[in-house]
Amino acid sequence: MTRKIIFDCDPGVDDCIALMAALASPEDFDVLGICTVAGNVPLEVCTRNALKLTALAGRDDVPVYAGCPRPMVEQPVAAAHIHGETGLGAARLPEPTHAASTQHAVDFLVETLRHAEPRSITLAPTGPLTNIAVALVKAPDIAESIQDIVLMGGARSEGGNITASAEFNMYADPHAARVVFQSGLPITAIGLDTTLQLRCTPSRHEALESMGNEAGAVAAQMIGHVNAIYGEIYGAEGAALHDPCVVLYLLKPDLFETRRAYIEVETRAGLTRGHTSVDIYIADDETNADWAMGIDAEAAFALLHERISRL
Ligand code: RIB
Ligand code: CA
């Protein structure tokens, strides 16, 4: 059964790798659109990268919608120190073969969901949740058309990556994250506790590099950039493939271990801004999300490799 899906992302190296796998899977995903949001790099760069990626994947049939250029309340926080100023590491992608839509991503989300069947569309955010939160605030009625939200974000036992206590997507726009987690919608949250288990080890990096197609070479170049930057942190295990976990979950959920949790996001400034409190010991009727606890990394990478090899 093909799943109607909208991606909302801040490409970004790992967003790009996630989109490669998604766009290579037309029998699994009817991608209604790719929305971009300010995150790893400024909005304009995210949008250009999304357009370049659809060109690389031969999928310029998929429309791209530029969204919010900044968080709901906070000032923009970027991660160019990881993804590079271009957001693509050291990789060079083909020039876009189509332009972004003139419609704002939030308006696209509202219009598309307002005209959709109940519980018919999956939202797959892999960046700050600004667009989705603003859409929910602007048009609460759209919730009834959302089948589920599968997001990359948060951390429980892993602490944080942009600060010691917060994961980047939550930290960048904690107010948006709070709106989403308090929406009552079916949410699966894949945080650092799981994504840090999916590393691009040297053998996996080599498997991408020797894939024999442009997508594999570009993916290897991009993640190699992160490895080089963060080698001393990631060490021999290699950089984490955070955002691809969202697509891999949607393709094969049984590769993941999840459990019900109550997730709340700290919105106050200071040491714990963006911290996700993930209570996995709470009564079932008080939970608001499925929290990913772990992943079969070998099988997950094999699936990621297989999908990218199709491009
Ligand atoms: O913390 C990892 C997340 O922050 C990923 O989505 C990465 O692309 C950055 O947005
Ligand atoms: Ca991202």
Pocket test for ligand 1, best of 36, 37, 169, 200 (most atoms within 8 A of CB): 169
What does the longest C-alpha to C-alpha distance in the chain come to? 51
Structure tokens, 116: 């959709």
Please give the sequence-ordered ranges of beta strands (E in DSSP) within 95-159, or none if there are none.
Answer: 121-125, 146-152
Give the model's pLDDT for residue 232.
Answer: 74
Reported in sequence order, the residue ranges of the chain that DSSP labels E, i.e. its strands, are 3-9, 29-36, 64-66, 121-125, 146-152, 187-190, 256-265, 276-279, 289-295
Centre of ligand 1 to C-alpha 281, Å, is: 27
Instruction: Output the CA angle 32-258-133, nearest 5 degrees.
Output: 45
Ligand 2 center from residue 283 Cα (angstroms): 31
User: Which atom of ligand 1 is nearest to 161's Cα?
Assistant: 1
pLDDT digits (tens, 9 = 90+) for 123-148: 999 999 999 999 999 999 999 999 99
**Left, alpha or beta for 266 (phi > 0: left; psi -120 to 50: alpha)?**
beta
Q: Write the pLDDT tens digit of every residue in 187-213.
A: 999 999 999 999 999 999 999 999 999
Cβ neighbours around 184 below 10 Å, total:
8
Ligand 1, atom 1: closest residue by C-alpha: 168
Predicted pLDDT of residue 63: 98
Q: Which residues are catalytic?
A: 242
Instruction: Please state, as a whole number, how many other Cβ atoms lie within 10 Å of the Cβ of residue 27.
Output: 7
Q: Which two tokens stand for residue 130?
A: 């600004």
- Report the atom number in ligand 1 closest to the C-alpha of 10: 10
Is the CB of 169 inside a 6 Å radius of any atom of ligand 1?
Answer: yes
Pairing of strands 256-265, 187-190: unpaired
Q: Is 274 in the pocket of ligand 1 (CB under 6 A)?
A: no
Question: What domain count does the chain have?
Answer: 1
Q: Is the pTM of this model over 0.95?
A: yes
Cβ of 125 closer than 6 Å to ligand 1, yes or no, is no
Query: Residue 192 sits in which domain range?
Result: 3-308
Report, in angstroms and rounded to the nearest whole number, the Rg of the chain calculated over CA atoms.
18
Q: Hey, which residues does 263 pair with through a beta bridge?
A: 278
Q: Is 36 in the pocket of ligand 1 (CB under 6 A)?
A: no
What single DSSP character describes residue 100?
A: P
The DSSP bridge pattern shows strands 289-295 and 256-265 to be: antiparallel
Q: What is the pLDDT of residue 106?
A: 99
Counting from 1 in the atom list of ligand 1, the atom nearest the Cα of 13 is 8
pLDDT reported for residue 223 = 93
- Taking the C-alpha atoms of residue 118 and residue 129, their distance in angstroms, rounded to an integer, is 22
Would you say 21 and 216 are in contact if contact means Cβ atoms under 8 Å apart? no
Which residues of the chain carry a pLDDT beneath 70?
A: 234-235
Cα 170 to middle of ligand 1, angstroms: 9
CA 128 to ligand 1: nearest atom: 10
As residues whose CB is below 5 A from the ion ligand 2, the structure lists 10, 12, 15, 126-127, 243
Q: pLDDT at position 234, please?
A: 66
Sign of the torsion formed by the C-alpha atoms of 207, 212, 218 and 219:
negative
The C-alpha atoms of residue 26 and residue 41 are separated, in whole angstroms, by 28
CATH number of the structural domain spanning residue 287: 3.90.245.10
